[in-house]
Copies of this chain bind each other. A is one copy, B any other.
Amino acid sequence: MSGSSFGTHFKISTFGESHGPAIGVVLDGLTPGVPIEEADIQKELDRRKPGQSSITTSRRESDRVHILSGLYQGRTTGTPLAMVLYNQDQDSSAYEHVKEAFRPGHADFTYQKKYGIRDHRGSGRASGRETAARVAAGAVARKILEQRGIQIVAYTQRAAGVSCQEIDYGVIEKNPMRAADLEAARMMVRRIEELKAQGDSAGGLVECRIIGVEPGLGEPVFDKLEAQLGKAILSIGAVRGIEFGAGFSLADMSGSRSNDQIFSTGFDSNRAGGIVGGISNGEEIAFRLVVKPTASISRPQASVNSKGEEIEIQTEGRHDPCICPRIVPVVEAMSAIVILDMIKRQAALQAPQVEYSSGIEDKE
């Protein structure tokens, strides 16, 4: 399997560079008969698109989705559903200085070493624009999960040193940070604008909750639910770590505190983050990820060019001073893709549905 596909029983395959003709994604293994329209997908893409506020890049990307296959009379046919977003406004001149130089924090150096050739324009395949294809795919997955009663909510929990003090899902789409606390959001924006003014950028934390997942999803021992979610989230460009449930705080707990006790009414806590033994336990699935500060900053930094000569480099162009708000829909999309894949895997595991009860007695 190559690196641009994700999933086993429901699979997405993405393609595209930032300044090439288009980016896109093919979904294979999609449930047939599901009503989907481009508007369902556009809605999610619009949440990811640039230019939404002072703290997102002012680049214009139309991000208009075109469905090329897999639909008939507004419903999925069970055949591959391909979506394409044509690239526009691709002024590559801002990247001319990168052609022969490696920007700190960017994949310029590693792509050159791996492939021996590199599309430097807009970071090529390594561009954050690649995540639009994930969001498009995730929008389709979410539509199916919603019918099953599964909701996915992500939000900026902390950015530029400011944390949400309360969690109100209702305000997430009402502030430019996609924070769950309006007051905190205001402070985050203020600090990020300060950093931006200094030619700098900020990192943060994003939290995600998957609500309504039945017990039983996850495929031990390697494709455990946290392993698949972890891979999905860590494959997003700026993410450098992930923790489930109580996460890193478990290092200092004792077992008597960390175990979620069970009562007839259910678990009394959710330090497990909804996953035990790699399988969902019916509680909310909860994880947190760290987003590194945007690598593109206008402050001068030390680097080398392709001849190995030391240079000073400043990233020009329009960039997000903090990527958190735009990573939120990507986290939700990848989560939806993992959950749909796992639902299909559980269906495959249990198939065919046969009665074996007759004649079977418990013996040891």
Which chain A residues in 259-309 approach chain B with CB under 8 Å? Answer: 259-264, 268, 272-273, 276-282, 290-297, 299, 301-304, 308-309
**Chain B residues, CB < 8 A from A66:** 21
User: Shortest beta-carbon distance, A218 to chain B, in Å?
Assistant: 7
Q: Given A79-B124, A344-B348, does the pair A240, B231 have CB atoms closer than 8 Å? A: no
Give A2 to B31 CA distance when docked, in angstroms.
12
Q: Once the chains bind, are A242 and B230 in contact (CB under 8 Å)?
A: yes
A52 close to B (CB within 8 Å):
no
With a CB–CB cut-off of 8 A, which chain B residues contact A308? 264
Fill in one digit per residue for A7-18: 1 if any B CB lies within 8 Å of its CB, else 0: 011110111110
Identical copies in the complex: 4
Q: Does A69 contact B (CB under 8 A)?
A: yes
Distance in Å from the Cβ of A164 to the closest Cβ of chain B? Answer: 13
Against B, the Cβ 8 Å flags (1 = close, 0 = not) of A226-247 are 1110111011010011111111
Known interface pairs A13-B13, A304-B263, A351-B343. Does A276 touch B110 (Cβ–Cβ under 8 Å)?
Answer: yes
The reply to whether B114 and A78 contact each other, CB–CB distance below 8 Å, is: yes
Inter-chain contact A16/B243, CB cutoff 8 Å: no
A84 to B25, CA, bound (A): 12
Is B245 a contact of A242 with CB atoms below 8 Å?
no
Say yes or no for A362: interface residue by CB 8 A criterion.
yes
Which of A41-49, A55-63, A171-179, A201-209 lines the interface with chain B? Answer: A201-209
At the interface, yes or no: A167 with Cβ under 8 Å from chain B? no
Q: A218-B114, A241-B243, A310-B263 known; A32 and B200 CB under 8 Å?
A: no
A348 & B350 in contact (Cβ 8 Å cutoff): no
Q: Is the CB of B241 within 8 A of A303?
A: no
Query: Does A94 interact with chain B (Cβ within 8 Å)?
Result: no
Residues on B with C-beta less than 8 A from A348 are 9-10, 29, 344-345, 347-348, 351
Beta-carbon contact of A148 and B354 below 8 Å: yes
| Residue in A6, A221, A243 whose Cβ sees the most chain B Cβ within 10 Å | A221
CB of B279 within 8 A of CB of A203, answer no
The count of residues in chain A whose C-beta lies closer than 8 Å to any C-beta of chain B is 168
Q: Which residue of B lies closest to A29 (CB)?
A: B2
Complex CA distance for A116 and B11, rounded to whole angstroms: 21
Asked if A180 is an interface residue, CB under 8 A from chain B, the answer is no
Whether A364 contacts B2 by the Cβ 8 Å rule is: no
Q: Please measure, in the bound complex, the distance between the C-alpha atom of A174 and the C-alpha atom of B49, giving whole angstroms.
A: 53
Across-interface contacts of A216 in B (CB, < 8 A)? 110, 113-114
Report Cα–Cα, A73/B199, bound state, in Å. Answer: 33
* C-alpha spacing A205/B251, complex, angstroms: 6
Q: Are B234 and A290 interface neighbours, CB within 8 A?
A: no
Instruction: Tell me if A95 is interfacial: C-beta within 8 Å of chain B.
Output: no
Question: Is A90 interfacial (CB 8 A cutoff)?
Answer: no
**CB contact under 8 A between A203 and B253, given known A28-B3, A351-B344:** yes
* Chain B neighbourhood of A20, CB < 8 A: 68-71
B113 touches A215 (CB 8 A): yes
B3 contacts A221, C-beta separation under 8 Å: yes
Given A84-B84, A252-B161, A348-B29, answer yes or no on A69-B5 (Cβ-Cβ < 8 Å): no
Jot down 27 A-B pairs with beta carbons below 8 A, ordered by A. Answer: A2-B28, A2-B223, A3-B218, A4-B79, A4-B220, A15-B26, A15-B69, A17-B77, A20-B68, A20-B70, A21-B69, A22-B69, A72-B117, A73-B362, A77-B124, A104-B261, A105-B276, A114-B216, A114-B279, A147-B356, A202-B254, A230-B242, A231-B234, A241-B241, A242-B243, A343-B351, A344-B349
